[in-house]
Amino acid sequence: MATVTFDNATRVYPGADTPSVDALSLDIADGEFLVLVGPSGSGKSTALRMLAGLEETNGGRILIGDKDVTTLEPRERDIAMVFQNYALYPHMSVRENMGFALKLAGMDKAQISERVEEAARTLDLTDYLDRKPKALSGGQRQRVAMGRAIVREPQVFLMDEPLSNLDAKLRVQTRTQIASLQRRMGVTTLYVTHDQTEALTMGDRIAVLNFGVLQQVGTPRELYDTPRNVFVAGFIGSPAMNIGTFTVDAASRTARAGAASIPLDDALLSAITPADNNQVVLGFRPEGLELVGEDAENTIPVVIDFVEELGSDSYLYGHLAGGGWVEENSPAGETGSIVLRTPPRTDVRERDVVHARIAPGGLHAFSASTGERI
């Protein structure tokens, strides 16, 4: 087992103007399950490949334990990877696939068999050891790929979107198995995904990347409850946080966007700077809203466009009555959507107008000039 350290690690591809990974500094504790998450092109897979030695590190260092591995070959780093496409040999049995790397390393046959049998028991693959990959389901093939990594007993596991080829139900089941297995084994793990739901449910901590820059690192609860900036706020959570730009009315101590009015406290008002140009970016999650009567003060009137019944909850999708709600980073003039979560079997229907108020503790505020949390 070992720690992993990215020390201002940078990767610039030939011919590129900007780094794909820009001065990444990140510490992964011994035995920790850290999820690296971000949209396509954020640099998350590049960072993982830099740790594996499959991509050159142009600046900074990468350490596994106390050992600087920045210039070492992949085989010298004592890591094992699990890929998106399983990468199994179709002509080999499950047993042969799992033990192939050990065979190449010259390990004794009896020891190989012992490790493969132990990994198969752990992964519930004992009954499939003599089958070929084509006779397995997608989830079973992914467990074989996991077993091939486990038998090597590496210092670090690297997983590059291993569940993206599975169907929705199997993906949920397998991510639970992977998280449980990692905690039992205690192997330091870096897991890359674009799916923030996977990140929230699997990781001890989450690191969010965007355009190669580390945006925030913390526990799932920290990222969900206190996102550091507008990007993290909009990326973490499903459905996403409602985020819009409001004009500050200091006289009434409110923020306004069209017919929406949100009261502001003294601390928030005092944090607004001249650079913000009398504006503030406010966010609130779907569950952070509560329905109130139309005669209530400081509400957000929403015209309902669609009602999604999920059995345990209802989600109301709509737009601000009268317009004026512009989502952060949306095209100019485009009316943004607002999502509310309510108890199931709501009486609200399409084209109804509901009035919502932000529940205590449900408001997130960000600087209009910097996008940072205030």
The predicted pLDDT at position 171 comes to 83
* Model confidence at 207: pLDDT above 70: yes
Mean pLDDT in the chain? 92
The predicted pLDDT at position 18 comes to 95
At 324, the pLDDT band (50, 70, 90 cuts) reads confident
The predicted pLDDT at position 87 comes to 84
List the beta bridge partners of residue 267. Answer: none
Closest alpha carbon to 235 in 255, 218, 210, 211: 210
Average of pLDDT values for 311-330?
84
At 334, the pLDDT band (50, 70, 90 cuts) reads low
Q: What is the dihedral of CA 94, 124, 150, 100, to 10 degrees?
A: -10
List the beta bridge partners of residue 33. Answer: 189
CA angle 28, 159, 176 (to 5 degrees): 95
Say which residue the tokens 């529940």 belong to. Answer: 359
Average of pLDDT values for 23-28?
98
* Model confidence at 213: pLDDT above 70: yes
Contacts of 67 (CB under 8 A, 6+ apart): none
Measured distance CA(97)–CA(89) in Å, rounded: 6
Measured distance CA(370)–CA(256) in Å, rounded: 20
pLDDT in tens, 171-200: 888 888 888 889 988 999 999 999 888 999
User: Under a CB-based contact definition with an 8 Å cutoff, are residues 163 and 175 in contact?
Assistant: yes
Measured distance CA(68)–CA(230) in Å, rounded: 35
- Alpha helices (H) in the chain, listed in sequence order: 44-52, 94-104, 109-122, 138-150, 168-185, 196-202, 220-225, 230-235, 266-271
Cite the residue boundaries of each domain of the chain with CATH code 3.40.50.300.
Answer: 4-234
Cite the residue boundaries of each domain of the chain with CATH code 2.40.50.140.
Answer: 240-367
* Model confidence at 332: pLDDT above 70: no
- For domain 4-234, which architecture applies? 3-Layer(aba) Sandwich (3.40)
Average of pLDDT values for 30-48?
96
pLDDT in tens, 234-285: 999 989 999 999 999 999 999 999 999 999 999 999 999 999 999 999 999 9
pLDDT in tens, 95-148: 999 999 999 989 999 999 999 999 999 888 999 999 999 999 888 998 899 899
Q: What whole-number percentage of the chain has pLDDT above 70?
A: 97
Closest alpha carbon to 142 in 103, 181, 188, 199: 181
Q: What whole-number percentage of the chain has pLDDT above 90?
A: 79
* Model confidence at 330: pLDDT above 80: no
Average of pLDDT values for 73-99?
92
CATH code of 240-367, in short, is 2.40.50.140
The predicted pLDDT at position 347 comes to 86
Average of pLDDT values for 294-316?
93
The predicted pLDDT at position 20 comes to 97
